[in-house]
Chain A
């Protein structure tokens, strides 16, 4: 040991003060960090307050009534008719079409990636899906209007498929959420432990049987969560429907008219969704005092509640049915 080392002061002499000293810098930093964490809480609070405040202002006006809002079949602010059904119906229709497209494809891609694909294939496929997921939605809107709609028109006939139609927007929404479903489902599938697969193979089961009968059920909670998150994404999707689904609500004279010939389900006709309506109305120079301004907040509030419920369900599903391996 080098002699240059100065030994610590003898144990007894050394004064040691362990008391807490004010560390102002640390405290300030901590305060900022807490504040940063709180911003997210404030955001949520802000969203809820803003939506509720303006939604209440909307219903406080003489024309719209809660009953009319929920049971009316016409949304036409110019004549003061505010029935949410046409918008809500279009939102559900596009989302449902999207789910019909995305669910099987997304799930099968997930199974292919996790159970079948070689590492090389995965290395090609995963970036493709990541690119799909990273493309801005307005581009998907362009795609819906410029590619999907003409495609549908050439398949089903121009006289049957309108330029703006629910089907084209719905299918493209489906394409847009495929990466979401496939990546979340794939995570759930790969999380299933190897031992479970090996047990199945040990009993002489084929890859398909292992995948469908053993791995898939084991990953079901994660997959369900993926599906619900995808639904919430589809409902909230805006640009695709704003561009391709229609520039006005598909109104019905009355319920009979809506149900007649399943009019409300016709995918080849135009219909404006909740999100599409908000974008169109707010796209112009909107004055704050108008009923239009208040009405989009009422719609947004309904939309917020819908997606929030779906998000809560999805997290509940994950927690409730999580498999502990």
Chain B
């Protein structure tokens, strides 16, 4: 630069220097652009996080523990029905049953298949729904009283303990030869081959010729135990250095022992494990391999003299062992002779199995008579009388009886709950935890459900609902609407069409509205508390109008709350309505005045119709504000616990938002889920409202073109 006052163009950087300058400048621009964009992303992420947080808590697993499990309730009832049926002889000794059926012409009975197999000449087997038990019908499950029997183990055990692998291999090879002796049906060759293949793969091609030693512990089903024992006997004959111990503790206990306590090398089960149970096992490091080793099927038998009852439907079978007294009861064409029952005793697994297969294990599907009887048996006479106050149990519909059985006998209670995220990521862990609890079922629960929407508040989170809260919200919002909308539009009309903005009063009103819009909502609550609840209590409690409900005479009513919210949204309505009115073109007003219209004629006929969609938009926004407001309502006095629907402006009330606040403030996890579910309902309602506003706004914009 020269010394002269004139600056030179050379003072700007050029060439290399300029390049670096530009680069630095661009880098800076990029950095800031990134920053701006990141900030915007944070805004979006915040919304996403909020919504996900709510959804996360609104769905997820819950553990439901029953006082009595449903299957026990149903099973015991029908077992008792069978035991109590007329002319019934029970015996733990199947041979006694065989002898009786073989010698009495009108007898019917059932017992383990082995006893039928060795007495085929003395007994006639009855088809059920046209199917007789044999190897084929049992294996493919078409015979109703059939079930596969399983042995479970894991790859680790098979590899770590060659003696177990050898025993399993031996069993798969030889079980079908001995199965007739044991009293069960063989598995189809194909199934057996598949099981063998699975075993081979898991045990990594075991050397079957080698000799092994060591213990083999099997835990689980008593039904399967005879097979294990028989196989063990044969196996040990070849491998005396091994010892097989079969603990007959029942399938459920077996699962707990095998999976949770890690006891045993084999798990025997008279039913397939559920997915949840398998998951629970995996969680504990036991990835189960399922092997079918036999099929079980119970024959229903009659005396060979009985030539008419060759086939029974499932319904006939049910009656045959419970209510029917003569064969003619089952089918009028059959002789009118008494049915004699010969069945296994109360402690027999066969009876359990028969009952479960024939009568089912669920409440659904049972007749009203049976359900009513279950209730009468399980409940005290006093309780039954109370329940029958409306209508005798026998006359109540099935659905109602099932609901009663659930709430009065099974009494499911929550024993744990998890968020959606936990449910998805820690499924196995949760399943294991729940599997360890007796009579507990893991369910995936949407905390928003029909009951949630129709039930009242309850201290039991599984029964609590938001019905009364929603009604309260609606009532309060409607009153706020009725107050704020006419007043708000009127004030807006006054300020835009009547006031010239010059008078002192007009200026005060103007300033006021702007100030009011900035007052925290809780201050409105204080105003409502002092004025509507306390000062005007005689009006807001309804005493003035002859409503003397002592519970509400303190003025903490829907009316007080509605009026408070009305004041709260009034500035909002005014400001939005003014904006809409201001947007009406002046030409329209001039045209009207030019014809000699008065101010009100102009407003009513031209200004309001033209600004209506804009005003409506504002009203909707204000109403959704009222609907989502919480703090002033708490100050005015929502009821903490209320189970009756509000029936008018003088009722006590709670609102959806207040309910959310109360639930959020409770420490138990379940109430957080309820709060989340209520929030989802609230948001859905608000989004619906706001969509209406957006729709109106776009329609308005189109009309103006």
Chain A: residues with CB nearer than 8 A to chain B?
23, 25-26, 29-30, 32-41, 43-44, 46-47, 50-51, 53-54, 104-105, 108-109, 111-113, 116-117, 125, 128-132, 134-143, 145-147, 175, 178-179, 182, 206-208, 212, 229, 232-233, 235-239, 242-243, 275, 278-279, 282-283, 285-286, 288, 296-297, 300, 303-304, 307-308, 310-312, 314-315
Contacts and interface: CB of A to CB of B under 8 A. Distances in A.
Interface string B582-600: 0000000000000000111
A239 B630 contact: yes
Contacts of A229: 518
Contact of A142 (B491, B526, B660): B660
Contacts of A111: 36
Contact of A243 (B43, B599, B664, B690): B664
Contacts of B57: 146
Interface of B: 25-26, 28-29, 32-33, 35-40, 42-44, 46-47, 49-50, 53-54, 57, 486-491, 493-495, 498-499, 505-506, 508-509, 512-516, 518-527, 529-531, 534, 567, 570-571, 574, 598-600, 621, 624, 627-631, 634-635, 637, 640, 657, 660-661, 664-665, 672, 675-676, 679, 682-683, 686-687, 690
Contacts of A304: 519-520, 523
Contacts, number: 254
A26 B497 CA distance: 13
4 closest A-B pairs by CB: A236-B520, A136-B628, A36-B490, A108-B39
B630 to A, nearest CB: 4
A139 B35 contact: no
Contact of B43 (A51, A129, A138, A312): A129
Given A29-B600, A34-B494, A178 B46 contact: yes
B31 to A, nearest CB: 9
Given A25-B600, A30-B498, A147-B50, A43 B567 contact: yes
Contact of B526 (A32, A51, A129, A308): A51
A142 B520 contact: no
Central interface residue in B44, B506, B571, B635, by most chain A CB within 10 Å: B635
Nearest to B511: A315
Given A108-B40, A282-B529, 9 more contacts: A39-B570, A40-B571, A108-B35, A132-B43, A145-B664, A236-B523, A238-B522, A286-B637, A311-B515
B599 A26 contact: yes
Contact of A50 (B531, B631, B634): B531
Contact of B36 (A112, A136, A139): A112
Contacts of B512: 40-41, 43-44
Q: Determine chain A's interface SS by DSSP, over half rule.
A: helix
Contact of B490 (A32, A139, A212): A32
Contacts of A206: 25-26, 29
B259 to A, nearest CB: 31
A109 B527 contact: no
Contact of A139 (B516, B525, B526, B683): B683
Contacts of A39: 487, 491, 567, 570
B50 A140 contact: yes
A86 B489 CA distance: 42
Contact of A109 (B43, B53, B498, B631): B43
Given A40-B512, A43-B527, A236 B664 contact: no
B698 to A, nearest CB: 12
Contact of B520 (A32, A51, A303): A303
Nearest to A282: B635
Nearest to A121: B40
A128 B44 contact: yes
B494 A279 contact: no
Contacts of A47: 519, 523-524, 526-527
B663 to A, nearest CB: 9
Given A33-B490, A43-B570, A46-B531, A278 B522 contact: yes
Contacts of A105: 39, 42-43
Given A40-B516, A242-B661, A282-B637, A288 B631 contact: no
A300 B523 contact: yes
A171 to B, nearest CB: 10
Contacts of B523: 47, 51, 236, 300, 303-304, 307
Contact of B37 (A46, A112, A242): A112
Given A138-B661, A300-B523, A232 B598 contact: no
A134 B518 contact: no
A141 B54 CA distance: 11
Nearest to A142: B664
A75 B534 CA distance: 26
A60 B356 CA distance: 78
Contacts of A109: 36, 39-40, 43
Contacts of A147: 49-50, 53
B522 A40 contact: no
6 contacts: A36-B490, A40-B516, A138-B679, A139-B628, A238-B522, A315-B514
Nearest to A130: B690
B178 to A, nearest CB: 59
B683 A146 contact: no
Nearest to B598: A26
A35 to B, nearest CB: 8
Contacts of A308: 515, 518-519
A51 B520 CA distance: 14
B53 A143 contact: yes
A26 B46 contact: no
Contacts of A238: 520-522, 630-631
A180 to B, nearest CB: 11
A36 B520 contact: no
A14 to B, nearest CB: 15
A125 B39 contact: no
A177 to B, nearest CB: 12
Given A132-B43, A300-B526, A282 B634 contact: yes
B673 to A, nearest CB: 10
A323 to B, nearest CB: 20
B470 to A, nearest CB: 14
A35 B567 CA distance: 14
Given A44-B515, A278-B522, A33 B527 contact: no
A142 B679 contact: yes
Contacts of B531: 46, 50
A46 B524 CA distance: 10
B159 to A, nearest CB: 40
Contacts of A112: 36-37, 39-40
B592 to A, nearest CB: 14
A242 B50 contact: no
A141 B574 CA distance: 29
A208 B33 contact: yes
A139 B499 contact: no
A136 B682 contact: yes
A74 B199 CA distance: 74
A296 B526 contact: yes
A38 B509 contact: yes
A307 B516 CA distance: 11
A41 B37 contact: no
Contacts of A300: 522-523, 526
Contacts of B660: 138-139, 142
B39 A132 contact: no
A43 B519 CA distance: 11
B239 to A, nearest CB: 56
A303 B526 CA distance: 12
A91 B38 CA distance: 29
B676 A208 contact: no
Nearest to B680: A139
Contacts of B509: 37-38, 40-41
A229 B514 CA distance: 12
A140 B33 CA distance: 29
